[in-house]
Amino acid sequence: MTDTTTSPPTLPERDYLRFLSEGRFMLQRSRSSGQYVFYPRVAEPRTGATDLEWVEASGMGTVYATTVMRQRPPTPNYNVALIDVAEGPRMMSRVEGIDPEAVRIGMAVKARIERNGEACIVVFHPVEGQNAAQAGDTK
Amino acid sequence: MKDGFPRGQAAIVGAATYGIGESPGLESIDLAVHASVKALAQAGLNPADVDGLFVCLPQDFLSGLSLSEYLGIHPKVTDNNRTGGSAFLTHLFWASVALATGQCEVALIAYGSNQRSGAGKLVSAQKAPYFEAMYRPMMPVAAYALAASRHMHQYGTTREQLAEVAVSARQWANKNPEAFMRGPLSIDDVLAARMVADPLSVRDCCLVTDGAAAIVLTRADRARDHAKRPVHVLGAAAATTHSSIVAMEDLTVTAARESGQRAFAQSGYGPADIDLVELYDAFTINTILFLEDLGFCPKGEGGRFVSGGRIAPGGTLPVNTNGGGLSCVHPGMYGLFTLVESTQQLMGLAGERQIANAKLALAHGNGGTLSSQVTAILGTAETL
């Protein structure tokens, strides 16, 4: 087998985290199907296409589901949410900038990369002046 | 191709639990063996008679081998299949096929866990993937809370309706001397309990207990030699949709829809024929989702369906008659207990909680985070 492309092989987890450490939120997209893939993989689900390329995410998303992880005081509670990103895939994240209890399904949110000790993670913040209806709730 | 499930050809002839609640000093495998010899004795059998072994223990990924050795047997069929808490209903499916096709004569399905005495908390069989772990979700409760948030948003399901599930389970547990949590529980108690993951309070969550269970199956033609009222496997079907909750397409629809349809079709019966339902109630939302997906009420109606004591003692549909994972027992994986309780009910051995004239039961297992769904339809000889 000869690799006819010049790009290095995809290392899903390592590549994703390296991009984040460089300040970039990247998704994968299949060259043949045009479909976006998240979480990162070596092959597209169902088709098995291995022509996945990394593309920068728009960062726009909508809250699909939300919960609050209750902690024993004084540890603060925090949000865990599923976000439908504009490109199609769904990811786990949290919504910051508002109380964890105030996060609502259908809320329009935008990604931000946050340094978390050594690692970097994608979190989301509410988009100012937008509500669920404008964001288009993905029922 | 036609579904060739061997309807009714395998039958449960023994079913037992052991060590429900706290069993300090015993390892998980010790508990599983206690339940196994109890279930075998009920059928007049010894470990040496077992030639088909189906098991998964919490932290032993080769438990098919270790339990064989412990029992001193050399099984022809050793199945260590793990689909999460539904594993034992998956085992039931394969045991039925193995018995019907002559691959084994006596099948034992066993489980035991000392997670309460041993670890003091839920022992998870799976490490969270990195794309989840970085957000510190408390798993599995976070996944079920997310599903509940979605069900409330789409269908107007309320916390009071979720609480109805916990209260009904407690009322059944109060009729079961083996149940770990007994005593009064009101809807207000559930609502006022410590929140764990919104909208779920600690009373919306299953127990963390020790416990073991086992069932023994033979082919139907020799089942009457081992049990007065053998319990026939009329249908068993599985479906898997995802592992991480991130990959579940619609958090309000589980693969129970598919497993249930296939199991009912194999059995020749439908939801209206079922006398009792044993569902994997790790969280209150599970009962609502599975009642919908298995066809007992329309999608979205589960919250209203469970209200007013409909699934509690005296209600029209008995659900989780042992008290369920919420009030009876939940040693990490609950699936096998749905089969034991179904069997005890159909054999007429359920004491104060016995459903009169019970002939048909539905047992349903859930694995992962609503990921694996397995449905079994069980019936007495009259239902064949």
Q: Are strands B360-367 and B276-279 parallel, antiparallel or unpaired?
A: parallel
**Inside any domain, residue A111:** yes
Q: Which residues from chain A sit within 8 angstroms of residue B246, using beta carbons?
A: 39, 82, 90-92
- The pTM of this model reads 0.95
Alpha-carbon torsion, ordered B73, B78, B81, B85, to 10 deg: -30
Q: Name every chain A residue with its beta carbon within 8 A of the beta carbon of B242.
A: none
Looking at the fold, whether A66 and A50 belong to one and the same domain comes out as no
Asked, for residue A82, whether it belongs to a domain, the answer is yes
Residue B127: the pLDDT is 81
pLDDT < 50 stretches in chain B: none
B138 to A82: CB separation less than 8 angstroms, yes or no: no
Look at residues A39, A84, A67 and name the one whose alpha carbon lies nearest to residue B142.
A67
Q: Is residue A72 part of a domain?
A: yes
Question: Does residue A94 belong to the interface with chain B, where contact is any CB pair within 8 Å?
Answer: yes
The answer to the question of residue A37 being in a domain is: yes
Query: In this structure, are B314 and B365 located in the same domain?
Result: yes
Looking at the domain assignment, is residue A134 inside a domain?
no
Residues A124 and A76 in one domain: yes
Which residues in chain A touch residue B136, judged by CB atoms under 8 angstroms apart?
A: 69, 78, 80
Range of the domain at B187: 139-205+235-383
Distance CA B251, CA B147 (A): 5
**B274, B362 contact by CB (below 8 A):** yes
Same domain, A68 and A45: no
B134–A121 CB contact, under 8 Å: yes
Identify whether residues A17 and A43 lie together within a single domain: yes
Classified as helix, coil or strand, A31 is coil
Answer whether A65 sits within 8 Å of B251, measured CB to CB: yes
Residue of chain B minimizing CA distance to A139: B154
Taking CA–CA distances from B199, the nearest residue in chain A reads: A67
Residue A122 forms part of a structural domain: yes
Interface test with A, best of B130, B135, B136, B157 (most A CBs within 10 A): B135
A124, two tokens? 């989301």
Domain with residue B54: its CATH number is 3.40.47.10
Do B350 and B376 reside in the same domain of the chain?
yes
B345 and B245 part of one domain: yes
Residue whose tokens read 């053998």: B230
- The pLDDT value recorded for residue A10 is 86
pLDDT at A116: 80
Q: Which residue on chain A is closest to B130 by alpha carbon? A: A13
Sign of the CA dihedral running B165, B167, B168, B170: positive
Same domain? For B301 and B264 the reply is yes
**According to the model, what pLDDT value does residue A9 have?**
83
Q: Give the per-residue pLDDT at B211.
A: 98
Identify whether residues B173 and B300 lie together within a single domain.
Answer: yes
3-state SS of chain B? CCCCCCCCCEEEEEEEEEEEECCCCCCHHHHHHHHHHHHHHHCCCCHHHCCEEEECECCECCHHHHHHHHHCCCCCEEECCCECECHHHHHHHHHHHHHHCCCCCEEEEEEEECHHHHCCCCCCCCCCCHHHHCCCCCCCHHHHHHHHHHHHHHHCCCHHHHHHHHHHHHHHHCCCCCCCCCCCCCHHHHHHCCEEECCEEHHHECCCCEEEEEEEEEEHHHHCCCCCCCEEEEEEEEEECCCCHHHCCCCCCCCHHHHHHHHHHHHCCCHHHCCEEEECCCEHHHHHHHHHHCCCCCCCCHHHHCHHHCCCCCCCCCECCCCHHHHHCCCCCCHHHHHHHHHHHHCCCCHHHCCCCCCEEEEEEEECCCCEEEEEEEECHHHC
Would an 8 Å CB–CB cutoff place A113 in contact with chain B?
Answer: no
For residues A52 and A73, state if they share a domain.
Answer: no
Q: Is residue B125 part of a domain?
A: no
Say yes or no: A70 and A51 in one domain: no
Asked if residue B368 and residue B262 are part of one domain, the reply reads: yes
What's the structural domain count of chain B?
A: 2
Per-residue pLDDT at A131: 54
Q: Is A121 on the interface with B (CB under 8 A)?
A: yes
Q: So what's the pLDDT on residue A139?
A: 39
Task: Give contacts of B199 with chain A, Cβ < 8 Å.
Answer: 67
Domain CATH code at residue A98: 2.40.50
Joined tokens for residue B100: 């019907």
CB contact under 8 Å between A39 and B149, yes or no, is no
With b meaning 16 or more CB within 10 Å and e meaning fewer, what string describes B5-20?
bbbbbbbbbbbbbbbb
Length of chain B: 384
Q: Give a yes or no: residue A1 inside a domain.
A: no
Rg (C-alpha) for chain A, rounded Å, is 17
Which of A80, A99, A113, A123 has the most B C-beta neighbours within 10 Å, making it the best mutation to test the interface with B? A80
DSSP string, A62-122: EEEEEEEE---TTSPPEEEEEEEETTS-EEEE-B-SS-GGG--TT-EEEEEEEEETTEEEE
Q: Which residue of chain B comes nearest to A96, CA vs CA?
A: B135
Chain B within 8 Å of A28 (Cβ-Cβ)? no
Cis peptide before A74 (omega within 30 of 0): yes
Quote the CA–CA distance of B92 and B87 in Å, as a whole number.
Answer: 9
Per-residue pLDDT in tens (0 to 9) along chain A, 139 residues:
444 555 678 899 999 999 999 999 999 999 999 999 999 999 999 999 999 999 999 999 999 999 999 999 999 999 999 999 999 999 999 999 999 999 999 999 999 999 887 889 999 999 976 554 444 444 3
Q: How many domains does chain A have?
A: 2
Please report the sign of the dihedral spanned by the C-alpha atoms of residue B194, residue B196, residue B199, residue B200: negative
Q: Is residue A20 located within the same domain as residue A34? A: yes
Range of the domain at A29: 12-56
B94 and B54 inside one domain: yes
> Do the Cβ atoms of A78 and A48 come closer than 8 Å?
no
